[in-house]
Amino acid sequence: MLSRHGRDLRVDAKIPGEDTGIAIRKTLCSICEYKCLVDAYVKDGRLIKVEGSPGNPVNDGTLCSKGAASRQWVYNPDRLQTPLLRIGERGEGRWAPISWDEALDRIAARLGALKIESGPESVVFFAGYPKVMRPFLKRLAHTFGSPNYCTESSTCFAGTTIAGLLTYGYGLGQQGGAEIDQTRCILNWSTNLFYSQAPLGNRILDALDRGAKLIDVGPLRSLPAERADIHLRLRPGTCGALAMGMAHVIIEEGLHDRAFVEAWTQGFEQYRDYARQFTPDVTERITGVPRETIVAAARLYATTKPAALVTSACTTIHHTNGVQNHRAVTALIGLTGNFDRPGGNHIVPSSYYRPTGLAHREHAFEQTRPWAEMAPRVGQDRFPVWCRTVPQGQAMALPEQILGGAPYPIRAIVGFGLNHRMWPAPDHMREALRALDFFVDVELFMTESAKLADIVLPACSTFERNEFSISPNRYAIWTEQAIAPVGQSRPDVDIIIDLAKRLTPEDELMAQGHAACLEWIFAPAGLSIAELENHPGGMFLAGRPETPYEKYRKTGFPTPSKKMEFTSTVLAEHGLDALPVYREPMQSPVSTPELARDFPLILTTGSRLPMYIHGRTFRVPWLRRLHPDPTLDINPADADARGIAHLQWVEIATPRRALQVRANVTEYVAPGVVNMIHGYPGADANELIDPDYLDPVSGHPGYRSLMCEVRPRPAANGGSR
């Protein structure tokens, strides 16, 4: 049989086999860090196709559009081929290729000199994407003597952990520990898993097929909203008020778990008194959600047992009132007796970025030097609660410290996948990078940030390296190297290990290599990389103890009061609101009415389109063609009022900056709200945000609620700019 091209059908259909010369190698996708398992179809050493690996509990044969485009990601023409040394002015883009040895020797010499001149704390070690190298980089930073290990978590997820630690003494984990597969009611709070972690989205649909109820909270008309029994379409930034309003209904109607609340919580009376303010009428006025809908949602969530609250890694915390919002939202778990119970929110300790509950020594591996023996971290003065709860510096404070030199100078950054577009006001961070004495960036591609470096090192993708990954249900894999590295690119972890050999030669463990370090970390769980190598597609790590439910019954909660804290002891110590007090976003129609006169629309940014994640996939042609121009979503009512037609070029402006994008006129957003993804080349929404638009507790930027205006650009109509 011939293909439509008149060639051998089996070859053209890419059927693996000896006759076709096509082999399947087992690897994974880390474009978004959900780490779907991937079958790499390889012929003559080249990747010719990808497919989700079948028969695993992570993605069972499926992929999202980003993962499906892996081939154009791996073989992207922008891939860095060799280490590069800057020979022109900073940012000019003139480079000389150098050898790995020369590059690493130069870096080690420069960092060693800076350590002597300005102290080890003058060097920042930064981890962007991927996350796999993080424990290695943190170990290197602290062994070197610098407290300044920072990551992209300065803008993401950590705030949910802070909220969990303050209230419950536990980070609640991804999706808040929601047991989607076992629950009877899902309270899906502002997360569209279909666009962020697609296989998990499918599990929500499966739960619906089983008869589970779905309540969706969020400003966008996403698939979870479409499929929900109840959709609460709230004004961005008001989730804390909505949660208090639901708490009001639950408490007034006696639907809370009295036994749990009496035995295991601190500050319930104050919380109850505070909730009294949030009557359905008041809550409707703040959030825009009709009072009947609030009451119905509160009743359904509180009376269906078990019920699981699904939280996002970032949507609730990307407000200037983010941590308190998230505390208010997650307090509903304990209030309704769903904390650490089957089908509710189960607390499973994480290691290696997955809640597996496996015994490990990750913290010992990372924290080679106690904080007390190092200088204060970046951001420690501005964000003390962050530094008390997150074992990293707060990178949002980096630009100020680099440019201002206080409390001490930052002179160098060794960045892995550092992208200055992550920061609000990325131009400000760009200026800071330019001001550094020494900047190294390790990257797959020549990014805007890498262009500012003194030395750029080429990293390879997951397809080109071995990688350990483990899913929450303990399906572990040590991937095969599917293809040879592109150019001279190398695995991030190996680069760190080679830097460690030069910078911290006393570190004997790191010198033993990637696999040996993983086995050391997971020695208490008996991890054997050799055993994993014998199971190329991955395997369940069976026979290790399961994580129990209701752990607090044995040991109390790991909080200062040993209870769930409606009133946080730690926040009170820092002079902050002990209750999850609702405050308006720093910019909102309510808090800044004078600003709202000229900028009347609420801008919410940071959401996802399915083909893009942060700045990572805009350069992939298959994906870029799916959404070739920057857009904002605006409701037809707001578009009509401004004379804006669908897909017309418009200007979106804040007092800080204006961008040119196309208007997607859509009911996906409610009237009064404008939604825009971040990082789009040439129209990055983060440029609209002030550098100090931060949550004072976490330091996270308030990407998801600020004020803007949208105007037509008549001169630029007709599709051109």
Binding site for another protein (CB under 8 A): 1-6, 9-10, 12-15, 49-52, 59, 61-65, 67-69, 71, 194-195, 198-199, 201-202, 205, 209, 211, 221-223, 226-227, 229-230, 233, 290, 292-293, 295-297, 299-300, 610-611, 621-623, 625-626, 635-637, 666-668, 670-671
Query: Alpha-carbon distance 649 to 638, whole Å?
Result: 15
* Residue type present at position 64: C
Half-sphere exposure of 30 (CA within 13 A, CB side): 24
Q: How far is the CB of 412 from another protein (least distance, A)?
A: 40
Nearest to 551 by CA among 350, 302, 339, 260: 339
Minimum distance between the CB of residue 463 and another protein, rounded to whole angstroms? 13
- Min dist. Cβ of residue 302 to another protein (A): 12
Sequence-distant (6+) residues with CB within 8 A of 616 are 31, 32, 66, 129
Residue 218 beta carbon to another protein: minimum distance, rounded to whole angstroms: 13
Kindly state the smallest distance separating residue 296's Cβ from another protein, in Å: 3
The SS3 assignment for 443 reads strand
Of 67 and 589, which has the nearer Cβ to another protein?
67
Rg of the chain over Cα atoms, rounded to whole angstroms, equals: 25
Is residue 38 within 8 Å of residue 27, measured between CB atoms? yes
User: In the complex, what is the shortest distance from the CB of residue 3 to another protein, in angstroms, rounded to a whole number?
Assistant: 7
- In terms of DSSP bridges, do strands 185-189 and 307-311 run parallel, antiparallel, or are they unpaired? parallel
Cβ contact 121:448 at 8 Å: no
Give least dist CB 36 to another protein, A: 9
Least distance in angstroms from the C-beta of 211 to another protein: 5
User: DSSP secondary-structure letter at 420?
Assistant: G
**Nearer Cβ to another protein (296/716):** 296
Token digits of residue 677:
């993804």
Q: Which residue number, 209 or 262, has a Cβ lying nearer to another protein?
A: 209
Residue 114's φ and ψ, nearest 5 degrees, are -65, -35
- C-alpha of 196 from chain center: 10
Looking at the Cβ atoms of 209 and 508, the one nearer to another protein is: 209
Q: Which amino acid is at 708?
A: C
Cβ-contact 219, 236 below 8 angstroms = yes
CB of residue 221 to another protein, shortest distance in Å: 5
Taking the complex as a whole, the smallest distance from the CB of residue 466 to another protein amounts, in Å, to 24
Q: How far is the CB of 251 from another protein (least distance, A)?
A: 19
Kindly tell me which of 60 and 507 has the beta carbon lying closer to another protein.
Answer: 60
Give whichever of 188 and 449 is closer to another protein, judged by the CB atom.
188
Q: Contact at 8 Å (CB) between 320 and 702?
A: yes
Least gap, CB of 704 to another protein (angstroms): 19
DSSP calls for 25-92: EEEE--SSSS--EEEEEEETTEEEEEEEPSS-TTTTT---HHHHTHHHHHT-TTB--S-EEE-SSTTS
Nearest CA to 443 out of 225, 605, 619 is that of 619
Nearest approach in angstroms of CB 338 to another protein is 18
Closer to another protein at the Cβ: 566 or 680? Answer: 680
- Least distance between another protein and beta carbon 53 (Å): 11
Q: How far apart are CA 649 and CA 663, in angstroms?
A: 6
Choice between 249 and 541, CB closer to another protein? 249
Beta carbon nearer to another protein, 559 or 617? 617
DSSP states of 171-224: ---GGGGB-TTT-SEEEEES--HHHHSHHHHHHHHHHHHTT-EEEEE-SB--HH
Q: CA dihedral in degrees (215, 217, 219, 221; nearest 10)?
A: -20
Q: Of the two residues 70 and 588, which places its CB atom closer to another protein in the complex? A: 70
User: Comparing C-alpha atoms, which of 257, 262, 232, 236 is closest to residue 245?
Assistant: 232
Give the whole-angstrom CA distance, residue 465 versus residue 664: 40
Cβ–Cβ < 8 Å for 649, 662 = yes
User: What does DSSP say about strands 475-478 and 230-232: parallel, antiparallel, or unpaired?
Assistant: unpaired
Helical pair 322-335 and 158-168, crossing angle rounded to 10 deg? 50
Q: How far is the CB of 255 from another protein (least distance, A)?
A: 13
- Residue closer to another protein, measured from CB, 19 or 381: 19
CA distance 663 to 634: 7
- Shortest distance, position 38 Cβ to another protein, whole Å: 11
- In the three-class reduction of DSSP (H, G, I as helix; E, B as strand; rest coil), residue 439 is classed as strand
Nearer to another protein, 6 or 77 (CB): 6
Q: Which is nearer to another protein, 24 or 323 (CB)?
A: 24
Beta pairing, strands 706-712 & 601-605: antiparallel
| Nearer to another protein (CB atom), residue 233 or residue 700 | 233
Dihedral angle computed from the Cα positions of residues 107, 111, 112 and 113, in that order, rounded to the nearest 10 degrees: 110
| Closest C-alpha among 296, 304, 313, 316 to residue 343 | 304
